[in-house]
């Protein structure tokens, strides 16, 4: 084969390998692959990669073919071959290491193997050099050629990008893991705090009832206020616990058969007074025929309560909130529509995340913890249904819930595992 053909063949090989390298995101196997390919392409006895620690600046062997013991040995930047290549960013051929003063002999001594000839090229990304790729001992007693330099440089260019990507993936993976840990800590804290709050709260409610009996009408107004505040606290704690149960798959469904219209009516009646005091018209538009379904009645009511409460909360005076129910084959669709403040398009997905609120916490005009929609979504999905929002800013929002009418049948339930 002519020289030109050999070169072309090598470059084609590198192109092919670079695709494979680009798809490898785990650092160790990637480095292993690079040294194996470097050994093969330069027809050498071995190859190794040295990477510079981005924090300490130390240059250290990472992976080596032929000399696995090399891993982690560090090499001085001043006065070593690898160090020279790293700082000059130029390739270097050492035909005979015995007469090369920069050859770092300590490495050979430590691992008991000998390097005769060596070719070292920089692992470079644009202007930044992240390490050095070395091929050692050309087979057949031949010296490293200019073609070998070209080949190894081409491989190093691809390898450097792949190494950098794998490192970034690793950083992201670690950051993700830390976020997961923080999230677990937050969930555990919520669980512990809600459990701990429950006992003193029960006592407050109990003593409020005792005092009401003893004092009679004398302190009725004050005791009403205590009881209302305690009940509000109880509902916040229940919300936090519900979310916890949903997240950990501990939420059970207790399905019964019921008419969905009665739950929609109930939710609208409960928020009637609030809507009226806010100058809103709250209306349920229900079919004449019963909408029979098999689901957890209490939890369906929690979904409806949350959606109606939000619409009432986020609709300014003079507006409308309308709840419609529509049956289609074996599904029911409930739409809670309002003429309220609306939700920006890019927030529509995120509002179902835990603790997510569109309004800035510091300048919030509306109360709430940002858990209602997360619970709605969890409960809907537990029933094998789906929920989403549509909205036009400053004009209003529509929350659509679709539930299977036989959500309570075990076959149609989403596994909570
Ligand atoms: P909370 O109401 O306690 O803040 P939710 O999880 O129920 O929490 O809702 C999350 C956020 O979604 C709200 O803070 C609000 O920004 C937005 N949102 C929910 N419902 C509506 C609605 N009907 N109109 C406008 N914004 C809404």
Q: Please write the tens of the pLDDT for every residue from 293-331.
A: 999 999 999 999 999 999 999 999 999 999 999 998 899
- Ligand 1 atom showing the smallest separation from residue 371 Cα: 6
Q: Is the dihedral of CA 375, 379, 381, 382 positive or negative?
A: positive
Sequence-ordered alpha helix ranges (H) in 248-389 = 260-277, 297-313, 372-382
What are 285's two structure tokens? Answer: 């538009």
For residue 388, what pLDDT is reported? 98
The mean pLDDT value for 242-263 works out to 91
Asked if 177-248 and 256-404 have one fold, the answer is no
Mean pLDDT of the region 187-209: 88
Cα 404 to averaged position of ligand 1 atoms, centre (Å): 25
CA atoms within 13 A on the CB side of 163: 29
| Residue 117 Cβ contacting ligand 1 at under 6 Å | no
User: Regarding predicted confidence, which is higher, 105 or 72?
Assistant: 72
Q: Quick check: CB of 63 below 6 Å from ligand 1?
A: no
Show the tokens assigned to 31.
């480095």
**Model pLDDT, residue 411:** 47
Distances from the Cα of 67 to the Cαs of 30, 47, 73, 140, 285, in angstroms?
17, 9, 11, 19, 78
Structure-model confidence comparison of residues 58 and 216, the more confident one: 58
Cβ–ligand 1 contact at 305 (below 6 Å): no
Question: What average pLDDT does this structure show over 252-280?
Answer: 95
CATH for 256-404 is 3.30.565.10
Instruction: Assess whether the C-beta atom of 338 lies below 6 angstroms from ligand 1.
Output: yes
pLDDT at 390: 98
CA 237 to ligand 1 center in whole angstroms: 19
Among 359, 373, 393, which is best to mutate for testing ligand 1, by the most ligand atoms less than 8 A from CB?
373
State which ligand 1 atom lies nearest to the alpha carbon of 369. Answer: 3
pTM over 0.75: no
Beta bridge partners of 51: 60, 131
pLDDT of 417 > 50? The answer is no
For residue 384, CA distances in Å to 254, 291, 353, 412 come to 14, 18, 18, 6
CATH superfamily of 2-174: GAF domain (3.30.450.40)
pLDDT score of 223 more than 50 = yes
Domain 177-248 has CATH 1.10.287: yes
The dihedral region occupied by 177, where left means phi > 0, alpha psi between -120 and 50, and beta the remainder, is alpha
Q: Is the CB of 149 under 6 A from ligand 1?
A: no
Asked if residue 276 has pLDDT above 90, the reply is yes
| Domain residue extents for the chain | 2-174, 177-248, 256-404
Decide if 31 contacts 62 (C-beta within 8 A): yes
At 67 the pLDDT is 61
Q: Is the CB of 104 under 6 A from ligand 1?
A: no
| Closest ligand 1 atom to 396 CA | 24
State both tokens at 46: 């071995």
> Looking at residue 368, what is its pLDDT?
81
Overall average pLDDT of the 225-249 stretch? 88
Question: Is the pLDDT at 99 greater than 70, yes or no?
Answer: yes
Confidence bin at 116 (pLDDT 50/70/90): confident
């Amino acid at each position: 084969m002519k020289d030109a053909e050999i070169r072309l063949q090598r470059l084609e090989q590198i192109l092919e390998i670079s695709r494979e390298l680009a798809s490898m995101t785990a650092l160790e196997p990637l480095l292993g692959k690079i040294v194996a390919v470097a050994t093969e392409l330069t027809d050498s006895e071995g190859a190794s990669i040295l990477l510079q620690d981005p924090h300490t600046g130390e240059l250290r062997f990472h992976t080596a073919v032929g000399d696995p013991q090399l891993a982690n040995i560090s090499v001085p930047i001043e006065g070593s071959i690898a160090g020279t290549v790293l700082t000059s960013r130029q390739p270097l051929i050492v035909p005979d290491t015995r007469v090369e003063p920069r050859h770092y002999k300590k490495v050979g001594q430590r691992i008991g193997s000998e390097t005769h000839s060596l070719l070292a090229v920089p692992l470079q990304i644009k202007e930044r050099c992240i390490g050095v790729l070395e091929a050692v001992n050309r087979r057949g007693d031949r010296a490293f050629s200019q073609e070998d330099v070209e080949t190894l440089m081409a491989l190093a260019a691809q390898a450097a990008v792949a190494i950098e990507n794998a490192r970034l993936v690793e950083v992201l993976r670690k950051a993700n893991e830390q976020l997961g840990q923080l999230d677990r800590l937050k969930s555990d804290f919520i669980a512990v705090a809600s459990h701990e709050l429950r006992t003193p709260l029960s006592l407050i409610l109990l003593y409020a009832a005792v005092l009401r009996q003893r004092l009679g009408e004398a302190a009725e107004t004050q005791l009403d206020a205590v009881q209302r505040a305690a009940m509000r606290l109880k509902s916040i704690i229940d919300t936090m616990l519900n979310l916890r149960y949903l997240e950990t798959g501990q939420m059970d469904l207790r399905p019964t058969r019921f008419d969905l219209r009665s739950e929609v009516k109930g939710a609208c009646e409960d928020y009637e007074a609030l809507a009226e005091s806010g100058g809103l018209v709250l209306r349920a538009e229900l079919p004449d025929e019963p909408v029979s379904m098999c689901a957890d009645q209490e939890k369906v009511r929690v979904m409806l309560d949350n959606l109606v409460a939000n619409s009432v909360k986020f609709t300014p005076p003079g507006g409308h909130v309308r709840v419609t129910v529509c049956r289609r084959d074996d599904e029911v669709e409930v739409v809670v529509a309002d003429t309220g403040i609306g939700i920006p398009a890019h927030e529509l997905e995120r509002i179902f995340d835990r603790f997510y609120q569109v309004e800035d916490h510091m300048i919030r005009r509306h109360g709430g913890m940002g858990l209602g929609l997360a619970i709605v979504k969890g409960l809907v999905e537990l029933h094998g249904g789906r929920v989403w929002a549509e909205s036009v800013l400053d004009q209003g929002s529509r929350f659509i819930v679709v539930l299977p009418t036989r959500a309570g049948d075990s076959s149609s339930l989403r596994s909570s595992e």
